[in-house]
Structure 1
Amino acid sequence: MPPANLLRRGSWAEARRVAEVLRSETVGGILLLTGAVLALIWANSPWSGGYSSLRDTVVGPHALHLDLSLGTWAADGLLAIFFFVAGLELKREFVAGDLRDPRRATVPVAAAVGGVAVPALIYVAVNFGGDGLSGWAVPTATDIAFALAVLAVIGSALPPALRTFLLTLAVVDDLLAIVVIALFYTDHLSVWPLLGALVPLAAFTVLVQRRIRAWWILLPLAALTWGLVHASGVHATVAGVLLGFAVPVLRRTDSDGPGLAEHFEHRFRPISAGFAVPVFAFFAAGVTVDGLDGLLTALTDRAAIGIVVGLVAGKTIGIFLTTWVIARFTRARLDEGLAWIDVLGLAVLSGIGFTVSLLIGELAFGSGSERDEHVKVAVLTGSVLAAVLATAILRVRNRVYRRIRQAETVDADDDGVPDVYQER
């Protein structure tokens, strides 16, 4: 039996879907960066008090225990939209995407696990015996929008298999992150609200399984599910993932049009990438740095060191080593046209952690605390370092990527599908 191919080219339908997702997430990544930069400028300007006042402004009904600051609304509310889309994406990948084949799913899933485990171990090693161990999960998350925005600039001709690999790895990474948040960053648990959340969640599930799309029915049920999960003490973004998993992926018949998961993705991905995540970044990234001394103070914190090393070295080692081990022990080989330097570049790029890393930092150390401020500086520093190193690696391969891409766009029989996707 010939050896299996790692990161083998997927179907043409999958390549088109990934390209569509990349376009949306790339724009979202640019908006995310814009929000973060604006927050940093404002927080370090003479008008920094205005930024803090805006972030800490409390709105919402007190009777429902939803009188939250705008920063908390962004972290608990808007990010639930982000995780709803992540839930849709993950379910679609494994139900109808190329990754429904376990042989295809093994590599990105295993790489995601390695990319979570190794940074966490590095962080724990750096902070062992100290008071910063609660932040062990901060360097484990990859920011898909940020990473894809960088990728769009430095590797526009990246082979589809690598793009799919990065996208799937980041989605699985998000799922692992939300599991970590639910299990390890729940301070208290109120059972009755959590059980109560099952009622609107079940109603939402029944309706979407019947392919009902009426927003005036589904949206109140989703909001009620979110509110009850929030009241239970479990982080409210968990509700977003559960609601995403409830949506069916497959169509009943070919005449039904796009599946409901695809329909919701088209509706909510622009809201997530274009509004929810950039607004969260704006409220979460505004750390005040008191000059060079303040920056050095933040980066010499053991928690900050663990985060930077975890993001830059831990992600790279975890993802690359896991992929290499799978190839070594299964005698698999990379698909034609790919090289291990490509995998290394993506592994380094996955060290860009922002949205979920900042969220976990707030949960671990408390929003606005001194350690949380150090976490923000460390996440920003580690992410920039990862982006710079990935750029240095992937730009070297960009000319090769361009040649591969030109070959893939050949369509000799004019049937709308590049010939390379018909060579099976």
Structure 2
Amino acid sequence: MTTTTRAPGPGFFAQLLDPAQRADPYPLYARIREHGPTRLGETPVVVLSSYHDCATVLRHRAASVDRHHASIPLGPTPVHDLAGSLSGELTGTASMLFLDAPDHTRLRRLVAKAFAPAVVRGLEPRITAIADAALDRAAEHGQLDIVTDLAYPLPITVICELLGVPLADEPQIRQWSTLLARTLDPVSATVTGSRPDPAELVRANNELHDYFEQLVRRARTQTGDNLLSALIAAEESGDALTHDELIATCALLLIAGHETTVNLIANTALALLHHRHHLAILRTVPAFAESVIEESLRYDPPVQLIPRIARDTIRLPGIDIAAGDLAIMLIAAANHDPTVFTDPTRFNPARGDRHLAFGLGQHFCLGAPLARREAAIAITRFARRVVNPRLTDDPPPYRDHLTLRGPATIPVTYSEIIPI
């Protein structure tokens, strides 16, 4: 799969946002990386793409996620409402995704127990049962779409059960989540197709907020053994969690708790279908799944970019990121940096886990243990039970998202789905 791209110039950011790049953005990433750190014209926006630059900023004490540190762009800019789209303004009270310490620290502490490795291990039988049930349904229908039938149902079911959300509400939740995930994308004034409808986003945000208001109200009178009940108990005990923070945290966990994992499962399955010798190994050696997942996170990460705002000047080789500047770190490009990864365009599960797919520093992905385990179980059950799967579309169609990148659908043919 190859894509012809031009070297970065004034319009390279628009190229990056162009949906035509979704099937294979990596040649463009390579050209951007070769160009080095780049400021978008006269704007306070810097694009970083090397492993060193991205890792440095992610760990830097002056790198913030709080929109209030961002400077206001003056004059025309190729980035339309970028700071607003990444700020969490739609949710009212910002979630921990957009908070620095100490607020981020206390909110993360309250939620972290639900995603601890020991807790995730306890979920393995349930995750396996959900994956097998999804494949059983596909076998009954006689057709399999890896995204629709496996990658999506598994993580949405898990996060709904963790939060105590009725699974019957899943179709509506999926609609809200799909819309609100677009607020994580930067938006170019020159690529009109990349602009979500603001009115639609506001409506989805308000409806999701109202939904959790009602869910919390019910949960206060019907205590259950789930994360939502635990967060309510923390709020009622005065453990530094306000009602608005509770609602914002639930919305974040619902969206972040499945959107990225859907892409991780789908991207991994697609890589295995393109590298069938690894799929064959996985079929007989389930432990191989851990290495496959780590390489998939590097090779085709579900989160392609991470933003940070400089509270103070951050100095990098070749560029200074001034206080108030927005740094867009192209994690997917950094994960293919040839100065760190030998033959980076090759899918090689023997590499290890030096990738930046979950970030670094205090905002390292809270749900990483759960995402890894869900994806490992999903692809293991797929490899074990689906005999001779073959892509019907290559490349498959991709979702419109840039930040959260993954196929919209992966229909496959197969000889058999082996019963349990």
**TM-score, L = length of structure 2:** 0.26
Provide the TM-score with structure 1 as the length reference.
0.26
Structure having the larger proportion of residues in helix: 1
Bigger relative contact order, structure 1 or 2 (CA pairs below 8 A, ≥6 apart): 1
